[in-house]
Amino acid sequence: MPSPNSSDLSPSSFILASIPGQEVAHFWMAILLCSMYILAVTSNCAVLFIVKAEPSLHTPMYFFLCMLAAIDLALSTSTVPRVLSFYWFNTREISFAACLIQMFLIHTLSAIESTVLLAMAVDRYMAICHPLRYTATLTNAATAKIGLVAMARGVVFFLPLPLLLLPLPFCGSRVLSHSFCLHQDVMNLACANTTPSVVYGLTAILLVMGVDAILICLSYILILKSVLRLASWKERLKVFSTCVAHICVVLAFYVPLIGLSVVHRFGKDLAPLVHIIMGNVYILVPAVLNPIIYGVRTKQIQRRILNLIHIHSDRTAQ
């Protein structure tokens, strides 16, 4: 393993962060992450299967939920297996190329997820504020086009991030502050002017996640105004309850994202454990919570899960 302080200007690898003096805890950290990853994979695959198998769920809202499940599967799978190999087998080294690819996938998939969350907010706005135009506007073809636009938007905005890092020299420490690769983390290790990378990274974040967050808030302001026009509180609560699952999913995505950004910006003096935990929360918590939130809030999904459990129990009994 190369020294973290190697002076080679063309890096062949980086060193993933570990918890100083807590190497014994890596095994138990891996058990926790592995359990969360298995839960994320199982629950998101279940959502994809249930929506495909249940014709009543073939609507834009649940197609967007499938997109969300697929993104969460891809995002967690692009990072967690590598993190587990580090914790279990102490393979702290990650090649420069693999690091850039992982970084591109993390940021691009996060951008796609943000766009899908915005599309889901628009879906709720159309369903509540313009119900007569909802079916004609959000068709299956329109939903598919939104998914393609979300993918293209993520790739176009975040492909330049690894390209901007390629020519930079790395002549100091190669130790990252997370157990996977993020743009700001890798960029901070460069020993050259990183202003173009800093400016572009911040611009991309603001134009994608920042704009999406503002438009999601605007959608819910308009939804709230429409709901408040209803005659009774019972009707208001009934209509607004259809948005609760999506609001929880938005919070599950943006709160860890903001927390990780704050740690990077103001947490240079924080313990390494804080950086590692915040990074793992950002990657895994939305993937675990999203299918659980929609599973709890959606009767059709609950019913299908109970049917599958019942069928499995009957086969086991036989």
Largest CA distance in the chain: 71
Q: What is the mean pLDDT of the chain?
A: 86
* pLDDT tens for each residue of 185-213: 899 888 888 899 999 999 999 999 999 99
What would the pLDDT profile of 218-242 be if each residue is shown by its tens digit?
999 999 998 888 878 888 888 888 8
268 pLDDT tier (thresholds 50, 70, 90): confident
- How far is Cα 188 from Cα 192, in angstroms, rounded to an integer? 10
> Is 18 inside any structural domain?
no
pLDDT in tens, 77-135: 999 998 888 888 878 889 999 999 999 999 999 999 999 999 999 999 999 999 889 98
Residue with tokens 């420490």: 173
Predicted local confidence at residue 21, as pLDDT: 62
pLDDT band at 314 (very low <50, low <70, confident <90, very high): low
Give residue 318's pLDDT band: very low, low, confident or very high (50, 70, 90).
low
Q: Is residue 2 part of a domain?
A: no
Tokens 């709890």 sit on residue: 296
Q: Is 11 inside any structural domain?
A: no
Per-residue pLDDT of 3-55, as tens digits, reads 444 445 556 789 888 776 666 677 888 899 999 999 999 999 999 998 898 88
Q: What is the pLDDT of residue 197?
A: 92
Residue 114 near residue 91, CB atoms below 8 Å: no
Does 287 score more than 80 pLDDT?
yes
Q: Judge whether 245 and 295 are in contact, CB under 8 Å.
A: no
pTM for the model stands at 0.90
Distance CA 24, CA 28 (A): 8
Question: Length of the chain, please?
Answer: 318
What residues make up the domain containing 189?
25-316
Percent of the chain with pLDDT over 90: 48
Looking at residue 105, its amino acid is: L
User: Which amino acid does the sequence have at 238?
Assistant: K
- In a domain, residue 89? The reply is yes
- CATH of residue 119's domain is 1.20.1070.10
Nearest of 108, 102, 105, 113 to residue 44 by alpha carbon: 113
Q: Does residue 308 fall inside a structural domain? A: yes
Residue 159 within a domain: yes
Residue 292 lies in a domain: yes
Q: Name the token pair of 318.
A: 């036989």
Domain count, the chain: 1
Q: Does residue 9 form part of some domain?
A: no
